[in-house]
Amino acid sequence: MAEPEFTANGVRIEQRLRSLTRAGQVRINDGRLELLTSYGSEIDSAPVQAVRASKPWFAPDGRALADLNGKRYLLTLGDHDPAPGQPGPPAAGRFIEAVRRAAGRRRG
């Protein structure tokens, strides 16, 4: 099994006004984006080519939107990357770039 292209732990995953997990995991592996609960069970997954990742307009820096299978998820990642060797989720901007890179899209 190949190393995941992107992994973030401790991510809050919400759908509309409902919190699905406060310490979930977001992973890009083998061309798929996976949203997992803190126990490792799958919330949703889709090929990265079918995923739309963006930053919400009026939200703090650590948040990103991910549209998968017609559902919109609000992800609360870190507002900045943690120091090397320190725990914590990576910045939301790095997640958005990882989705675009894995899907072969360029920022435009």
Q: What are phi and psi of 16, to 5 degrees?
A: 60, -120
Residue range 6-102, CATH number: 2.30.29.30
User: Which long-range contacts (C-beta less than 8 Å, at least 24 apart) are formed by 16-23?
Assistant: 16/72, 20/73
Residues of the chain with pLDDT under 70: 1-2, 79-83, 86-89, 106-108
Cβ-based neighbour number of residue 47 at 10 Å: 13
pTM of the model as a whole: 0.84
In sequence order, the β-bridge partners of residue 68 are 71
Residue 18, beta-bridge partner list: 15
Residue 87 pLDDT: 66
pLDDT of residue 80: 62
Residues 45 and 96: their CA atoms lie apart, in Å, by: 16
* Domain edges within the chain: 6-102
CA distance 61 to 95: 12
